[in-house]
């Protein structure tokens, strides 16, 4: 089996599409289908899920018997670890801590994604970004953010 | 002359002090971010979109349009100077532009790109002004069935123009359509795919999806492999082309403008196709085809004009039909909807000031780009030396603020992270994000028109093939699909895209 060539990337892609399709189909089952004249909320989604499943299956099947034409490359683990939590942190704290501290910490978290960033540089960058953004967005554009939130004793 | 009075209206709107200012800010921001490597025009607009929501609709769209062609322009600058196209449409420029820069002709290449783009942009603006109204008249006759078929065609075209596997692009479109279904069903009010979270009752936030799959995924890709860039800065000595170079430019610029204007109208991403087509044309027509790839002026002038003309005329389907021709136009639709404007043929009659104001501002924006960028090239070059690890935390901060400012909904920020991860995984699996975003924007419209058409025809699906315009559009889509699956075309398409990756 392992001697035959196969395209690992396409196998993963096909399986992922099929899994997503199965998920949407499962969720659609709880919705009313309706008739083709009066389509219910579940009609179009179930058709699309079926189509996506089919496409995923074709991608999967075609992946066998053909070598992987391009290697998978490196994965930005460090990037995933620090970049993705940054907006989540901002979302969790922007109301409680307020705009200024939330943004400051968000920028600090994001800056850790590069191994080239030194701690002092990150700190300075975060301070500059926070000051500039507060001036532009809060004072300049007048976005309705609380600059310091109720979680702080200020 | 209707055209003249309309253009006069447009210019009076666009030249108001406020709109001039926003146009200027737009092109400046666009160029700035277009120049910064690693972020393309789509990601730029996605991230800056929320900033414009506080403005009047006209000003906001003028600014967004400015960002769009500013970013295109900035993309060519990086293509020429560091052989790193910010946008896939300037990938062709990188081939000869970078070679020119290595020969010490970077200034000439940059000026050629700017002047060619300006000429093409001016012509294309007029084309938009001439062709948009009659097309609108046709579009007003469109019923639900025609709209459905038109959107199917747009989606099929986006598949045909995506990189890599057609099957994967198709799957991405369908996935996008499904994601567009999330939220409350318009007909019955039933919540769909919300996992019981009321925060997603209005659907997934469009800005969050776009920032995630384009912006965040792109940052992650850039972080995979951090390396230094080589910038061709020392060599900018002479900016303005000589008379001889001007003569060499004229032909390619004219042809590029023609090619670009026609291809830009096609739904599905004309600007990219336009620059490739123009490059091929110039290479075929040239007396010295061997110079191409080694710093041929025509290899910069033609594609740059074509891509700018295409960028401009891709506004035609957006303004007349409300159908986006490419992901950037999809973002513009999102912006219009958030501003409370329903994109489509009614915009011309109901909001003439908006419609003509945008068209006029395109020309003004192009003029600003030439005037600003030639003297400012030195500044843009300096920006290229800013290291990436300083840039992306700033980008992340802007993304977070921007997405949150749309609805003040923290769940939108969680969605950004989720779609960032999804976008990154998809790009690792070599699936293009552009078809997904197009599907996501068109999904609800597609479903609504499908259901309406079926109700009108009393459940008879042949309505799509018995109505002539609808049938024509479907036949065209089918033809495109068959074509991209044909072995010869497939091979040719692969070649074109391989060239762009090189």
pLDDT in tens, B270-280: 666 777 788 88
How far from chain centre, in Å, is Cα A58?
A: 26
Number of DSSP helices (H) and strands (E) in chain A, helices first: 6, 0
Tell which wins on pLDDT, A27 or B194. Answer: A27
- Is residue B168 left, alpha or beta, with left meaning phi > 0 and alpha meaning psi from -120 to 50? alpha
H or E element that contains B88:
none
Nearest to A83 among B220, B428, B447 (CB): B220
A154 to chain B nearest CA, in Å? 22
Q: Is residue A24 included in any domain, yes or no?
A: yes
Phi, psi dihedrals of residue B225, rounded to the nearest 5°: -145, 95
Q: What is the pLDDT of residue B39?
A: 64
* Distance, CA of B281 to CA of B92 (rounded, Å): 13
Question: Has residue B442 got a pLDDT over 90?
Answer: no
Q: Which of B171, B412, B450 sits opposite A52 (nearest CB)?
A: B171
Which residues in chain B (220-259) have CB-CB distances under 8 A to chain A? 220-221, 223-226
Q: How far apart are CA B380 and CA B388, in angstroms?
A: 15
Who contacts B96 (Cβ-Cβ below 8 Å, separation ≥6)? B109, B292, B293, B294, B295, B296, B297, B299, B300
Sole residue written with tokens 């300006």: B118
**Which pLDDT score is estimated for B227?**
60
Distances (CA, A) of B454 to A34, B6, B143, B144, B334: 12, 38, 12, 9, 26
Span B212-226, mean pLDDT? Answer: 81
CB neighbour list of residue B349: distance below 8 Å, 6 or more residues apart? B136
- Closest CA–CA distance from residue B359 to any residue of chain A (Å): 26
Task: Report the C-alpha gap between B226 and B389 in whole angstroms.
Answer: 9
Check: CB of residue B484 under 8 Å from CB of residue B493.
yes
- Which residues in chain A have their CB less than 8 angstroms from residue B455's CB? 37-38
d(CA B380, CA B74): 8
Tokens representing B210?
């776009």
Exposure of B418 in the CB half-sphere (CA atoms within 13 A) = 12
Q: Is A13 in the same domain as A38?
A: yes
How close does chain B come to A92, measured CA to CA in Å? 7
Interatomic CA distance for residues B359 and B351, integer angstroms:
13
Q: Give the pLDDT of residue B285.
A: 82
Cα–Cα distance measured from residue B45 to residue B402, given in angstroms and rounded to the nearest whole number: 11
Chain A residues whose beta carbon lies within 8 Å of the beta carbon of residue B225 = 74
Of the candidates B357, B369, B370, the one whose C-alpha atom is nearest the C-alpha of residue B62 is: B357
Q: Which of A110-114, B4-8, B81-85 is most confident? A: A110-114
- Cβ within 8 Å, pair B223-A75: no
Question: Where residue B174 falls among pLDDT bands split at 50, 70, 90?
Answer: very high
Under 8 Å between Cβ of B471 and B464: yes
The distance of A120 to chain B (nearest Cα, Å) reads 12
The reported pLDDT for the residue numbered B501 is: 45
| Cα atoms in the 13 Å half-sphere on the side-chain side of A113 | 34
Which residues of B are less than 8 Å from A62 in CB distance? 167
Spell out the domain ranges in chain B.
Answer: 2-501
pLDDT digits (tens, 9 = 90+) for B35-47: 776 566 677 777 7
Query: Residue B121 corresponds to which tokens in the numbers above?
Result: 């942009």
- The answer to whether the beta carbons of residues B132 and B455 sit under 8 Å apart is no
What residues form DSSP beta bridges with A146? none
Q: Who has greater pLDDT, B382 or B181?
A: B181
The answer to whether the Cβ–Cβ distance between A87 and B190 falls below 8 Å is no
What is chain B's mean pLDDT, rounded?
Answer: 80
Q: Note the pLDDT of residue A1.
A: 43
- Token look-up 């025509």 returns B298
Nearest to B96 by CA among B242, B249, B294, B256: B294
Query: Tokens standing for B39?
Result: 């972020």
- The Cα–Cα gap between A2 and A9 comes to 15
Mean pLDDT of chain A: 86
How many interchain CB pairs under 8 A, A with B? 197
Angle at B48 between CA B43 and CA B54, to 5 degrees: 155
Number of domains forming the structure of chain A = 2
Full 3-state SS string of B33-61: HHHCCCCCHHHHHHHHHHHHHHCCHHHHH
Q: In this model, does residue A92 exceed pLDDT 90?
A: yes
Q: What is the pLDDT of residues A16-75, one digit of tens each?
A: 999 999 999 998 888 888 888 888 888 899 999 999 999 999 999 988 877 766 666 778
- B499 pLDDT exceeds 60? no
Residue B492 in this model has a pLDDT that exceeds 70: no
Q: What is the pLDDT of residues A51-64, one digit of tens each?
A: 999 999 999 998 88
Q: Which of A19, A37, A63 is the last residue of a domain?
A: A63
| CA–CA gap between residue B193 and residue A29 (Å, rounded) | 11
Contact residues, chain A, for B450 at CB < 8 Å: 39, 44
Query: Any idea how long chain B is?
Result: 502
Angle between helices B410-428 and B433-456 (to 10 degrees): 110
Q: How far is A10 from chain B (nearest CA, A)?
A: 7
Query: What CA–CA distance (Å, rounded) separates A21 from A46?
Result: 9
**Domain containing residue A35:** 8-63
Across the interface, of A41, A75, A130, the residue whose CB is closest to B192 is A41
pLDDT (mean) for B473-487: 83
Lowest-confidence pick of A146-150, B37-41, B78-82, B412-416: B37-41
Asked if B53 has any chain A CB less than 8 Å from its own CB, the reply is no
- 3-state percent breakdown (helix, strand, coil) of chain B, nearest 5: 80, 0, 20
> What is the model's pLDDT at position A33?
85
Shared-domain flag, residues A59 and A82 = no
Size of chain A, expressed as the number of residues it contains: 154
Neighbouring C-beta atoms of residue B320, cutoff 10 Å: 26
- With vertex at residue B138, the alpha carbon angle to CA B137 and CA B141, rounded to the nearest 5 degrees, is 100
Helix axes A43-63, A8-29, angle to 10 degrees: 160
- What distance in Å separates the CA atoms of residue A18 and residue B215, rounded to the nearest whole number? 26
d(CA B145, CA B18): 41
What span, in angstroms and rounded, lies between the C-alpha atoms of B314 and B438? 14
Chain B partners within 8 Å of A42 (Cβ) = 192
Q: Give SS3 for B183.
A: strand
Say yes or no: A85 and A121 in one domain.
Answer: yes
Measured distance CA(B68)–CA(B30) in Å, rounded: 6
Helix (H) and strand (E) counts in chain B: 23, 2
pLDDT tens for each residue of B353-381: 888 888 888 888 888 888 877 777 777 77
Q: B424 CB near a chain A CB, below 8 Å? A: yes
Q: Where are the beta strands (DSSP E) in B225-380?
A: none
pLDDT band at B488 (very low <50, low <70, confident <90, very high): low
Instruction: Select from A13, A35, A62 the Cβ nearest to the Cβ of B431.
Output: A13
Q: What letter would DSSP give residue A134? A: I
Of A40, A18, A14, nearest to A29 by C-alpha is A40
**Res. B175: pLDDT tops 90:** yes
Backbone φ and ψ of B302, nearest 5°: -60, -60
State how far the Cα of B277 lies from the Cα of B334, in Å rounded to an integer.
30
Lowest mean pLDDT among A52-66, B162-176, B327-341: B327-341
Task: Kindly report the number of other CB atoms within 10 A of residue B337's CB atom.
Answer: 14
Q: Confidence class of residue B139 from pLDDT cuts 50, 70 and 90?
A: confident
Q: Which chain B residue has its CA at the smallest distance from A92's CA?
A: B410
Closest-CA distance, A63 to chain B, in angstroms, reads 12
Tell me whether residue A3 is in a domain: no
- Does the residue A68 lie in any domain? no
């Amino acid at each position: 089996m392992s001697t035959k060539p196969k395209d690992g990337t396409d196998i993963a892609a096909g399986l992922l599409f099929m899994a997503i399709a199965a998920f949407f189909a499962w969720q659609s089952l709880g919705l009313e289908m309706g008739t083709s004249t009066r389509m219910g909320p579940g009609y179009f989604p179930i058709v699309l899920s079926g189509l996506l499943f089919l496409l995923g299956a074709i991608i999967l099947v075609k992946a066998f018997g053909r070598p992987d034409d391009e290697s998978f490359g490196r994965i930005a683990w460090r990037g995933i670890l620090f970049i993705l939590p940054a907006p989540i942190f901002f979302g969790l704290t922007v109301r409680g801590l307020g705009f200024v501290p939330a943004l400051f910490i968000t920028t600090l978290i994001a800056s850790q994604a590069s191994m080239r960033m030194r701690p002092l540089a990150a700190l300075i960058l975060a301070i500059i970004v926070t000051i500039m953004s507060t001036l532009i967005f809060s004072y300049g554009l007048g976005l309705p953010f609380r600059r310091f939130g109720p979680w702080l004793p200020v | 002359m209707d055209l003249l009075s309309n253009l006069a209206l447009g210019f009076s709107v666009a030249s108001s002090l406020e709109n001039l200012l926003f146009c200027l800010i737009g092109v400046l921001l666009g160029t700035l971010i277009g120049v910064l490597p690693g972020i393309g025009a789509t990601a730029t607009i996605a991230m800056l979109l929320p900033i414009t929501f506080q403005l009047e609709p006209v000003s906001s769209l003028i600014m967004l349009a400015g960002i769009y062609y500013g970013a295109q322009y900035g993309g060519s600058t990086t293509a020429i100077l560091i052989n790193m196209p910010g946008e896939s449409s300037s990938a062709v420029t990188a081939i000869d532009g970078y070679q020119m820069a290595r020969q010490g002709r970077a200034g000439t290449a940059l000026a050629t790109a700017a002047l060619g783009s300006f000429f093409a942009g001016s012509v294309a603006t007029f084309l938009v002004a001439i062709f948009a109204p009659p097309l609108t008249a046709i579009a007003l006759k469109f019923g639900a069935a025609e709209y459905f078929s038109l959107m199917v065609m747009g989606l099929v075209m986006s598949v045909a123009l995506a990189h890599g596997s057609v099957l994967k692009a198709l799957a991405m479109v369908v996935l996008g359509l499904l994601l567009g279904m999330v939220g409350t069903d318009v007909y019955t009010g039933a919540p769909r795919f919300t996992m019981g979270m009321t925060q997603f009752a209005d659907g997934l936030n469009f800005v969050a999806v776009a920032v995630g799959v384009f912006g965040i995924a792109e940052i992650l890709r850039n972080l995979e492999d951090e390396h230094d860039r080589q910038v061709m800065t020392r060599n900018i000595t002479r900016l303005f082309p000589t008379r001889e170079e001007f003569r060499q430019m004229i032909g390619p610029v004219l042809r590029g403008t023609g090619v670009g204007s026609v291809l830009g109208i096609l739904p599905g991403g004309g600007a990219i196709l336009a620059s490739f087509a123009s490059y091929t044309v110039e290479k075929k027509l040239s007396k010295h085809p061997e110079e191409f790839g080694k710093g041929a002026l025509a290899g910069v002038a033609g594609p740059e004009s074509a891509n700018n003309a295409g960028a401009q005329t891709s506004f035609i389907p957006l303004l007349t039909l409300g159908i986006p021709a490419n992901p950037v136009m999809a973002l513009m639709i999102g912006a219009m909807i958030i501003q409370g404007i329903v994109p489509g043929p009614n915009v011309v009659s109901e909001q003439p000031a908006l419609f003509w104001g945008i068209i006029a501002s395109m020309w003004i924006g192009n003029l600003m780009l030439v005037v600003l960028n030639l003297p400012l090239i030195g500044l843009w070059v300096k920006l290229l030396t800013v290291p990436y690890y300083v840039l992306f935390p700033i980008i992340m901060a802007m993304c977070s603020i921007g997405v949150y400012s749309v609805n003040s909904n923290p769940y939108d920020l969680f969605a950004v992270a989720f779609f960032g991860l999804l976008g990154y995984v998809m790009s690792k699996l070599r699936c293009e994000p552009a078809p997904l975003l197009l599907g996501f924007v068109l999904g609800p419209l597609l479903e609504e028109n499908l259901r309406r058409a079926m109700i009108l025809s009393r459940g008879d699906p042949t309505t799509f093939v018995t109505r002539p315009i609808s049938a024509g559009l479907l036949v065209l889509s089918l033809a495109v699909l068959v074509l991209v699956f044909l072995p010869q075309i497939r091979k040719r398409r692969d070649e074109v895209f391989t060239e762009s990756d090189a």
